[in-house]
Amino acid sequence: MKKITNLQGTFELHNGVQMPYFGLGVYLSKDGNEVIHAVKDALNHGYRHIDTASIYDNEEGVGQGIRESEVDRKDVFLVSKVWNNDQGYDATLRAFDASLKRLGTDYLDLYLIHWPKGELSKDTWKALERLYKEKRVRSIGVSNFLKHHLEDLLPSVEIVPMINQMEFHPYLVQQELLDFCNANNIQYEAWSPLMQGHIFDLEVMKEMAHRYNKTIAQIVLRWDLQKGVVTIPKSSKKERIIANADLFDFEISEADMKALNALDRGKRFGPDPDNFDF
């Protein structure tokens, strides 16, 4: 197990960049006061990793939240993603510039291809490699790429993706994909770790939370980290942002880790990377 120590702890990416293994996701956080306050509250509480995307339509607020926080930009691991309509070599370069402008920064710590788009994503990846070589982004990766998407992409790359950000929770472990990423030094990252709220309905989670004297969210987020998976739960509520990060005074036993793994049923709550229409 990778060492899990504190809110500012990191996993090392294959290019040596230290990526905080816990962050704030801002999907569905409204641009303006909602996302500004969420980012400020997270950073001022100790978070150092903020994950947004051009399609979230809140990059301006994320940038403002960082500037208004007590934390220097250089100490924040800032992530955005290129949307499907902007894939392709030239379009991706333009989309990256537009994201930087909205965020009010001159570099990103991680830039991701948001969804796999076949041959088009190979051109997109070449643009990401260029941005990386130009030191305009510190690390590059993909999101929602299944094993066969990666197997299609990898033979054509100069630089292996540092990250694969996937829907990941006890109902969707995808251990074979996780093992493939680990074997290729691609850091796995979880989105929707709380199963869009459905995690709170599971009796096994209620029982485990009671036993550990922790919340259900804290149990599942700790499980992510102990599996070596970066995680970015989303919230715009200050108390939830703070509670989600209270993960570093307990450890889930090996037996309970296995019990959570065994909940896997291949169930998605978000779109299927093999069957989406956007």
Q: Where are the domains of the chain?
A: 10-261
Residue 62 has pLDDT above 80, yes or no: yes
Q: What are the angstrom distances between the C-alpha of 2 and each of 9, 61, 214, 252?
A: 11, 33, 21, 14
User: What average pLDDT does the structure give for the chain?
Assistant: 97
Q: Which amino acid, residue 142?
A: V
What letter does residue 82 receive in the DSSP assignment?
E
pLDDT tens string 64-80: 999 999 999 999 999 99
For range 58-63, the mean pLDDT: 98
The pLDDT assigned to 203 comes to 96
The pLDDT assigned to 55 comes to 98
* Model pTM score: 0.97
For range 171-180, the mean pLDDT: 98
For range 81-105, the mean pLDDT: 98
pLDDT band at residue 3 using 50, 70 and 90 as cut-offs: confident
User: Is the CB of residue 247 less than 8 Å from the CB of residue 222?
Assistant: yes
For range 34-55, the mean pLDDT: 98
| Nearest-angstrom CA–CA distance, 236 and 256 | 30
- Catalytically active residues are 56
The pLDDT assigned to 189 comes to 98
What's the CATH fold of domain 10-261?
TIM Barrel (3.20.20)
The pLDDT assigned to 180 comes to 98
pLDDT band at residue 231 using 50, 70 and 90 as cut-offs: very high
Q: What is the 3-state secondary structure (H, E, C) of 214-227?
A: CCHHHHHHHHHHHC
Task: Name the percent of the chain lying above pLDDT 70.
Answer: 100
For range 232-236, the mean pLDDT: 96
The pLDDT assigned to 2 comes to 79
Residue 28 has pLDDT above 90, yes or no: yes
For range 156-160, the mean pLDDT: 98
